[in-house]
Amino acid sequence: MARITYDERTAAAFKAVREVPRDGLSEWREAVRRHLRPSRSMTLVDIGAGTGAFAAAFTDWFGLAVVAVEPSAAMRDQIVRTAAVEVLEGDASALPLPDESADAAWLSLVIHHIPDLRVAAHEIRRVLRPGAPVLIRQGFPGRLNGVELVRWFPETARTANTFPSLEETCKAFAAAGFHQDALEQVRETYPAGLADLLGHVDTLRRADTTMRDLTEDEFRRGKERLRRAARLAGGTVSAETRSNRLDLLVLR
Ligand SMILES: C[S@@+](CC[C@H](N)C(=O)[O-])C[C@H]1O[C@@H](n2cnc3c(N)ncnc32)[C@H](O)[C@@H]1O
């Protein structure tokens, strides 16, 4: 069971406010390029592909094929179908792929929804070719300093700190034969300023696991913090105020 229900309302909210605009993903493009060393003949499995933002980015950037595996029908419905993106129902513990058929696995903000990470790690091992990387984009407990939402809504860390830690994740994958190959923090940026974030923060609350657990009071105080900062920024767009840093963990 995922921590939240990705129904039609949540999927629409996710699509509207949680996809990072493509222009803000250039540092992810370069980080993934370094670790994946992509080629046009590759197939990448995007596990928990959501609304398909990364599936589309990978096919556009690297010309490879993506199998987007996603358990929620509402999220799958949001994925833009192209010749390079195959969309399949499934989850991390039951991947609808043959043995040793993929050249990489991508899991973005998914591992905290997976009920048994060890089972998933074994399943990922089954579908990957030997030596293929697992690329995990995640905010790990104790490593949330660069997470934008934690800056404005510090109590979101309460939930984020219950997610699988870096150590737990590496251990679960080690049991399936993977070792940690790299770990780095990668920045994404938003072209619009704080007023824009303030404008869609109610929708964001619907689409984000850590925001959902805030009390009304915590949410109100965070919004007030954001309102004051947006007023001070005076509508200016600063990469410093609108950026988010998450970990990229690479296992092989
Ligand atoms: C926060 S969203 C991330 C979506 C996408 N990866 C992204 O970064 O834009 C989490 C996604 O994981 C999916 N999910 C939940 N449980 C899962 C599981 N056990 N295996 C694979 N995906 C799962 C949800 O349906 C949801 O689409």
- What is the DSSP track for 16-43? HHTSPPGGGGHHHHHHHHHHH---TT-E
C-alpha 221 – ligand 1 centre gap (Å): 29
Atom of ligand 1 nearest to the CA of 11: 27
Assess contact for 93 and 144: CB atoms under 8 A.
no
The mean predicted confidence, pLDDT, of the chain is 95
C-alpha 92 – ligand 1 centre gap (Å): 9
Q: What's the number of CA atoms in the CB half-sphere (13 Å) around residue 224?
A: 6
Nearest CA to ligand 1 atom 24: 48
The overall longest dimension of the chain from CA atoms, in Å, is 55
C-alpha 58/C-alpha 15 separation (Å) is 17
DSSP conformation class of 137: E
C-alpha 14/C-alpha 240 separation (Å) is 24
pLDDT, tens only, 28-72: 999 999 999 999 999 999 999 999 999 999 999 999 999 999 999
Residue recorded with tokens 């129904």: 7
C-alpha 219/C-alpha 61 separation (Å) is 37
Using 50, 70 and 90 to split pLDDT, how confident is the model at 238?
Answer: low
CB atoms within 10 A of CB 115: 11
C-alpha 47 – ligand 1 centre gap (Å): 7
pLDDT, tens only, 120-134: 999 999 999 999 999
pLDDT recorded at residue 191 = 86
C-alpha 11 – ligand 1 centre gap (Å): 11
pLDDT recorded at residue 194 = 92
Nearest CA to ligand 1 atom 13: 48
Which residues does a 6 A CB cutoff place in the pocket of ligand 1?
Answer: 2, 6, 47-50, 53-54, 70-72, 75, 91-92, 108-110, 113-114
Residue closest to 139 by CA, chosen among 177, 103, 187, 178: 187
**Mean pLDDT, to the nearest integer, of 151-174?**
98
pLDDT recorded at residue 3 = 84
Nearest CA to ligand 1 atom 4: 50
Length of the chain counted residue by residue: 252
Non-local CB neighbours of 48 within 8 Å, separated by 6+ positions = 69, 70, 71, 91, 92, 107, 108, 109, 110, 113, 114
To the nearest 10 degrees (0 to 180), the angle between helices 117-127 and 166-174 is 50
Atom of ligand 1 nearest to the CA of 209: 1
Atom of ligand 1 nearest to the CA of 113: 16
**Mean pLDDT, to the nearest integer, of 162-190?**
98
Residue closest to 112 by CA, chosen among 78, 161, 181, 151: 161
Using 50, 70 and 90 to split pLDDT, how confident is the model at 241?
Answer: low
SS3 content of the chain, % helix, strand, coil (to 5): 45, 20, 35
C-alpha 110 – ligand 1 centre gap (Å): 5
**Mean pLDDT, to the nearest integer, of 77-93?**
98
C-alpha 234 – ligand 1 centre gap (Å): 36
Q: Which residue has the higher pLDDT, 234 or 30?
A: 30
